[in-house]
Amino acid sequence: MNVEVDLTARESTPRWLAYGAPVFTVLAALAVSALVLLVVDVSPVDAYSMMFYQTITTQIGAAQTLITTVPLVLAGLAVYLPLKAGLFNIGAEGQLVIGALAGTWVGLNVSLPGYALVPLMFVVAGLAGGFLAAIPAWLRARYDVNEIITSLLLSFVALEILSYVVRGPMRGSSGNFPQTAQLPAAARIPELFMRVHVGLFVALLVVAAVSLLMRRSRLGFEITFMGSNDAAAVQAGMSRIKVYLLVFVLGGAFAGMGGISEIAGVQGRLRAGFEPGYGFTAIPIALLGRNSAVQVLLASLFFALLFTGGTNMEIFLGIPAALVEVIQALIILFLITGEFFKRYRIDVSVERGSVTPDTAGGDA
Amino acid sequence: MAEPVFLEMAGIRKEFPGVVANDRVDLRVERGEIHGLLGENGAGKSTLMKILYGLYTPDEGEIYLDGDRLDLDSPQDAIDAGIGMVHQHFQLIPRLTVAENVVLGEREPATPFRPDAESPIPEAVRSNRVVQSVAERFSLGLDAPTRRIQRLADRYGFDLDAGAKISELDVGQRQRVEILKALYRDVDLLILDEPTAVLTPTEAERLFDSLDRLTDEGLSIIFITHKLDEVESIVDRVTILREGKNAGTAVVSEVTQADLAEMMVGREVLFQIEKEGVDLGEPVLQLQNVHADDDRGIEALSGVDLTVRAGEVVGIAGVSGNGQNELAEVAAGIRQPTTGSVRVDGTDLTGAAPRQFVDSGVSFVPEDRLEYGCAADLSVMHNATLKEFRDQRFDGPLGLDYDELEAYAETLVEEFDVRGVEDVTETKAGDLSGGNLQKLILARELDRNPALLVANQPTRGVDVGAIEFIREALLDQRMNGTGIVLFSEDLDEITDLSDRILVIYEGEFVYETTPEEADRDRIGLEMTGGGRAGGDQRPSDRHADVTAAASEGER
């Protein structure tokens, strides 16, 4: 028997596949994850109903999903914008952390009424995130230093700074925990309902702004062109430094705002490891939503659901946290593989019997 | 069958999503002939040849070689059957020698293991199959192959040293290495895909001599081209494809070039371009003593002076790689000169950003359409408006009015007859054929009515119909007062379009003439640096504004 696998690039993606691929791949991932669940003796039906259906339909679950969406969508856009310009910002994590740190510092040390203090915290957080993001962009545009490496490594720098600051200069006076003092009430983001805070509006506004930037502005035209062919863009008079800096600084600023919204809107104080890697989750979010800012929003909602539903499974069904992460990772992995099938066609042909074994090997 | 046909492709049909690339095409090649395969871009020549070389499987149709039916699943099958192909883009490894490149992929055991060699290893061991297979896998002996390659090269007058590194060879020699690769594998039928696209006229002549010797030895050759004069000078019979179908087969000596062109395009083609006189205006480009490095940091331009006036076409002839690309890029503002000055339309733009060149009315048609001319993944609309999207008339409520952009792109597509565009916002630039993409780029660059147009190989790889269109568009633009710098390796194009001709060699202008006085042999000689040793006339003697620093460069 001879199995032949043939891989050909698709010239165009059929419409049913473009929309169907994510659905099929998520279902496939859930099917594989079901095996994992069966091993630990949990009914996959219960688990999935808990993870998705009950998370969406209960008020707490839905609210928690929206809360988690805020930092995810902001960090997602921080990866999305550079991606449109053909760059990979792997450092949204660091930009988010540094934004949270700078914003918290303002919240703790500046006394202003809430309507002025919270916007100021957002601005400073944005500036800090934007500054951290500007470094890889500038190095890339000016010296052709790979932005993937620099932005990633700067994330670790930011994480270590956070770790130092909450143990040193900014440690709260109460207790020995590596965390800052509680933010004063004026520095907290107002709540809308069920702990969902105004940060959600900020995130939606940013999505709208990025959408308009990409679809209706000259800068968006330049970013799109630079992302598709930078040599042709430069030939037409566009500036690599300008576009690269712009997408990274804007992206970094969004991630920074995502960081402060998580602190001032949800947690109330800055701790080491205050967030479960939103900035890294932003990468698959941006890859899935790379066609538009609205798609980034949808991808963020889906990932927020995975996070929230995963926590619910852990709490209510006693599924070990590690397994929940395995399930989440499988879904992400399958989704990204699904992108591959959109672009390539795989033909598997099986021939039986017709192939004779190497005749030369038979004699002698 | 009365006459013995060597190769017969019968009723070949190949369909790709949306297009029928070959629609029941027949091709019959006789032994020992050079058979031309002529057609516009997209006519299906490459598809047909890729089928013959085993790269594509036909949907219908049969291939017979010497009476045997062939079933080709891969190039290896084709080579085993005796069919070799030389691609337009060479597939050689520069750091390896000629011999190493030729044997690449073959298993050649070291000499002591060869059955026919003197060897300390006993015959019985050597001929053992296992030993043979291990030796083939784990040892490499180049002595015998090198000798064989050298013999082959000498037999066909290829003037190649089998031990030389590819990086030391010029383009013509590299092409002969590619041919050797096929000959070494004992092919009887050789497919050459636009072999002269990269050659100078002199090198092309040499290639033709070599091909004649090959056919004398009984080899058959399929020669893909869209240049009619080549068909005339080298090909015995020619098969013409048009839109994927047979448009006829002809004995070349019995037809005229105009007949062939008409079969190829489907209508009459004008060869003679009418050029009207035009009054020259102010200088639009002034380069003074420009030096520039190439991408590797090696000096590619060594003191170039060039003045182009409004309404003037300056043609720059030269063998590729003599500084043309760098000169074009300096003139278009993409490459910074290391020394020297650049003035556009009277303004000093030395060291200015590309944007200022664009804003000063410089248009650029780059040599490599896909790499510099367009973003293949983006829509025709994006590509058509690349230079003009900043213009005020596209102001929208939030910055840019995409509806206006779309309308503008549609008018360009219409005016410049860009075919294959269904919807300017949906069709991608990369989906257009070479000629149509070039028309789109030209439309974008000309519609702005530029002061200066830098056109680098504007008709390379473009079919006859589009060439005609592009040349006329360039001359129309000249009447509008645009100064044009035209780089081309096609001497006919240079002499047909230019008001002045400059020959560039190793980063300097070595010769200047006018189309009226132009002597092709002299230009060919100067292009290869041959005019310098006995150079009796310096361009600076005759033209005040062009001083090629030939004397400094004297070696």
CB atoms A216 and B400 under 8 Å:
yes
Interface test with B, best of A12, A210, A219, A221 (most B CBs within 10 A): A221
Q: Please give, rounded to a whole number of angstroms, the shortest distance from the CA of A68 to a CA of chain B.
A: 31
Name chain A contacts of B357, Cβ cutoff 8 Å: 237
Domain assignments of chain B as residue spans, ordered by start: 94-186, 283-361+449-553, 379-447
Query: Is A294 domain-assigned?
Result: yes
CB hemisphere CA count around B170 (13 angstroms):
14
Query: Is A182 domain-assigned?
Result: yes
For chain A, say whether B391 makes contact (Cβ under 8 Å): no
pLDDT at A300: 94
For domain B283-361+449-553, give the fold.
Answer: Rossmann fold (3.40.50)
For chain B, say whether A49 makes contact (Cβ under 8 Å): no
Contacts of B126 (CB under 8 A, 6+ apart): B112, B113, B114, B115, B119, B132
In 3D space, the residue among B189, B201, B194, B205 whose CA is nearest the CA of residue B82 turns out to be: B189
pTM over 0.95: no
Residue A360's pLDDT band (boundaries 50, 70, 90)?
A: very low
pLDDT reading at A103 higher than 80: yes
CB atoms B373 and A217 under 8 Å:
no
A16-26 pLDDT, tens digit each: 777 777 788 88
For chain B, say whether A291 makes contact (Cβ under 8 Å): no
Query: Is A313 domain-assigned?
Result: no
B384-419 pLDDT, tens digit each: 999 988 888 888 877 889 999 999 999 999 998 888
pLDDT reading at A316 higher than 50: yes
The domain total for chain A is: 1
B48-74 pLDDT, tens digit each: 988 999 888 888 899 998 888 888 888
Cross-strand pairs, B19: B16
For residue B378, the chain A residue with the least C-alpha distance is A228
Nearest-CB residue to B372 (from A216, A225, A235): A235
Mean pLDDT of all residues in A305-311: 89
Is ipTM beyond 0.90?
Answer: no
For chain A, say whether B382 makes contact (Cβ under 8 Å): yes
In 3D space, the residue among A85, A77, A86, A83 whose CA is nearest the CA of residue A256 turns out to be: A77
**Residue B225 in contact with residue B86, Cβ under 8 Å?**
no
Nearest-CB residue to A217 (from B129, B332, B398): B398
For residue B368, the chain A residue with the least C-alpha distance is A232
For residue B357, the chain A residue with the least C-alpha distance is A237
Burial of A19 (0-12, 13-18, 19+ CB in 10 A): exposed
φ/ψ region of A320 (left if φ > 0, alpha if ψ in -120 to 50, else beta) reads beta
pLDDT reading at A297 higher than 90: yes
**Residue A134 in contact with residue A199, Cβ under 8 Å?**
no
In 3D space, the residue among B263, B331, B321, B313 whose CA is nearest the CA of residue B296 turns out to be: B321
CB atoms B402 and A216 under 8 Å:
yes
Residue A212's pLDDT band (boundaries 50, 70, 90)?
A: very high
Q: Please give, rounded to a whole number of angstroms, the shortest distance from the CA of A346 to a CA of chain B.
A: 16
Distance CA A224, CA A213 (A): 11
For residue A362, the chain B residue with the least C-alpha distance is B129
For chain B, say whether A360 makes contact (Cβ under 8 Å): yes
CB atoms B386 and A224 under 8 Å:
no
Q: What secondary structure letter does DSSP report for B188? A: S
In a 3-state reduction of DSSP, which class is residue B400? coil
Mean pLDDT of all residues in A242-263: 96
Element (H, E) at A351: strand A344-351
Domain range for A290 is 65-303
Nearest-CB residue to A237 (from B355, B375, B378): B355
CB atoms A225 and B382 under 8 Å:
yes
Query: Is A264 domain-assigned?
Result: yes
Residues of chain B with pLDDT under 70: 1-4, 17-18, 41-42, 107, 111-118, 198, 267-274, 531-555
- φ and ψ at residue B445, rounded to 5 degrees: -80, -30
For chain B, say whether A237 makes contact (Cβ under 8 Å): yes
